[in-house]
Amino acid sequence: MPAPAPLPMPEQDLTVAPELAFATSFGVHSTLARIVAIAGTLGILAYGTSEMVAIVRNEMTALQGLMIVFFAVTLGWIAQASASAVAGLLPLRRLPMAPAPGEPGSTAHRTALVMPIYNEDALRTTMAMRAMAEDLQAQGMAEGFEIVLLSDSTRPDPWIRESLAVTRLRESLSDVMPVWYRRRWENIGRKAGNMQEFVERWGARYDYMVILDADSLMEARTLVRLVRAMQADPSLGLLQTVPRLVGRNSLFARVQQFSGAIFGPVMARGVSAWAGDDGNYWGHNAILRVEAFASACGLPMLEGRKPFGGHILSHDFVEAALMRRAGWKVRMADGIGGSYEESPPSLIDLAIRDRRWAQGNLQHAKVLGAVGLRWHSRVHFAFGIMSYLSSPLWLLLLVTGFALSVQAGLNNPEYFSMPFQLFPNWPRFDSQRMLHLFGFSAVVLFLPKTIGFVKAMLTTRIRGTLGAVELIASTALEVVLSTLYAPVLMLMQSRYVLEILTGRDAGWSSQRRSEGQVTWGEAWRFHWGHTLAGVVLGALFALLAPKLLPWLSPVLVGLLLAVPLSKCSGSIGVGRALRRIGLLCTPEEEREPGIVRRRDQLVEQAVPMPEDGLRALATDARARAAQLQINLPPPSPSRGRPDADRLTAEQKLRDARTLEEALDWLTPRERIHVASDVAMLERLGVLAGRIT
């Protein structure tokens, strides 16, 4: 790492509003968009709820009232998405830009390209950084940028591969830009803690930092435009790009990529329109002003036990809200392209990531009431919370509807409830109005996709990728697959919410980013419960409420086919077959961005990383030297408390007579200590016959 350049990052007090760095301003564009979004949401909600009340015009029972409540909440959730999409049709305020480098009035900057990593594929991450650096160099814009890799890796092999890959990266970019690397021994605060420690020790060195995920890529022109936007507005604290999903071939990833290309811009533009200067942060593919981040975003520890207490998991939403609370602008750069990331390769991979996100979003309930927050930030928090609560609410709506149907089938109507009544009380249920309400709800649900589809049909760039027939067929296929996946996701997220509310912590596991086939066994172990739920629900409805079966067939089919759907979701063969016939294609796929192509070329051309990192260190003196040179030594154990793993590792190496014996004996925790110690690495070299 470079010489220390400390910058204080004080912990924020959620009970006291800070002094404003800048006074908040009035935005005409965002105000108009907010009026459209709020009025549209309330109008849809009011109409739909009044129609549902009118459908059950007789004396309302408690169960009917409960169904109306659940219906209103779920309708309101999809209504805000549709109203937001409509608001995105309004013209947006242009993002001001400072003069480009080399133009009169341009100013120098120092920007860190920061990539926090945690047991990732070291080759892909470093080659992504190299591709971005080379792109900046080719554009003559590399000056002022530095690469910073911040590791929290805990497993020995990924860590050793990181050291080797970073060494290669530094050598390849020695004439382009600095490459810094730091691995922490204690993962305090996880990713947010890693970033805070970086800022506190080296933050004063930088004007801005671009935060990247391990699968992120950003073009040089995008990076430069982000810097120019920050330079043009001193009150702009954070600028979030809208990454496009690229580079995957599995069925599930292709569905996500197509949806992101056709429908994603509609939603992003809508959020950007009504959020204005009160935007949000997704934790990556964004540029931050280091001064603003340090002064406003020191995260507090939440009171109470996990999962709601402790370190804040979904730190990005909170950091954006705290930055805005302090007066800094937080905006979305939805009009700036050249920002990319990768989709989870299968439904199971999405589910594993979703568990941690669910906990992080529900944890925001403890931040929602922080003093001084802008109401727009509270709306972002509420949307994040609702994105997971909507699943159990949808499930409760289905259960309530089922209960009402059973009740109606078992109870005999009372036609004469009063003595000497001349005319009967006929049961009143307006089925025609119910059909109209169902159609209205479907229109609201699919309105954002309809807008995206129409815009795609009218866009030359999209039509150059897909013909009208392919676009229609791809949209239909995406709708069908998303509909089938939806009930499986509903049950998974409902389970996550239940686990969180009962105190189960998600922990911190690394993501599987590489594509690989999902086995039948893996799909069965993960989804047998969803299949069983489909069987039980289907049997219950068939016996007790058969008239509802046609209405619930998408839910039941999705659950009954959960295992094969999940197996196919990770299938590269199915994904490539669809591409060959022109389905679910995207502009980035037909005309692959140069930055993505260059990253993939570098990965293919690179010397493969060793599978067994410790074996590589034992047999390669250069690798041993790089490992020791680039990493911090382990912290010294406190007096009277020796590290047991270190002691047992030393003893095992003394007892071992061959390298194979030593490697077979060492545990993962012991390997970590061996990889950080000069004497033990030398002993490994002796056992390998490379040191005499």
Assigned token pair, 345: 């390769």
- Both tokens assigned to 318: 């909170």
Distance CA 670, CA 633 (A): 15
Q: How far apart are CA 668 and CA 481, in angstroms?
A: 41
Taking a C-beta distance cutoff of 8 angstroms, is the pair 449, 81 a contact?
Answer: no
Relative orientation angle of helices 468-501 and 347-363, to the nearest 10 degrees: 50
From the list 559, 562, 529, the residue with the least C-alpha distance to 541 is 559
| pLDDT for res 605 | 92
Q: How many angstroms separate the CA atoms of 353 and 359, rounded?
A: 11
- What's the pLDDT score for residue 465? 64
The full length of the chain comes to 692
Three-point CA angle 403, 409, 410, nearest 5°: 90
What are the CB-based long-range contacts (under 8 Å, 24+) for 380-385? 380/275, 380/280, 380/317, 380/320, 380/321, 381/317, 381/321, 383/80, 384/314, 384/317, 385/361
Q: Are 49 and 68 in contact (CB under 8 A)?
A: yes
How far apart, in whole angstroms, are the C-alpha atoms of residue 318 and residue 313? 10
pLDDT confidence of residue 223: 96
Mean pLDDT by 10 residues, the chain (692 residues): 94 90 81 92 92 75 84 92 91 83 82 94 94 94 94 92 94 94 90 93 96 94 94 94 91 92 90 91 94 94 84 91 94 89 90 86 90 92 91 88 71 53 49 81 92 85 71 92 92 91 73 71 92 91 81 89 92 91 87 92 91 89 88 82 88 89 91 90 84 56
pLDDT of residue 415: 44
Residue with tokens 């989804």: 527
Q: For domain 1-343+430-461+592-606, which CATH number applies: 1.10.760.10, 3.40.190.150, 3.90.550.10, 3.40.50.2300? A: 3.90.550.10
What SS3 class is residue 159? helix
pLDDT at residue 423 in the model: 47
**Which one-letter DSSP state was computed for residue 611?**
S
Residue type at 194? N
- For the chain, helix, strand, coil in percent to 5 are 60, 5, 35
Helix (H) or strand (E) holding 330: strand 329-333
Task: Tell me the Ramachandran region of residue 114: left when phi exceeds 0, alpha when psi lies from -120 to 50, beta otherwise.
Answer: beta
Domain ranges of the chain: 1-343+430-461+592-606, 613-687
Structure tokens at 81: 């998405």
Nearest to 170 by CA among 632, 626, 672, 676: 626
Alpha-carbon distance 280 to 384, whole Å? 11
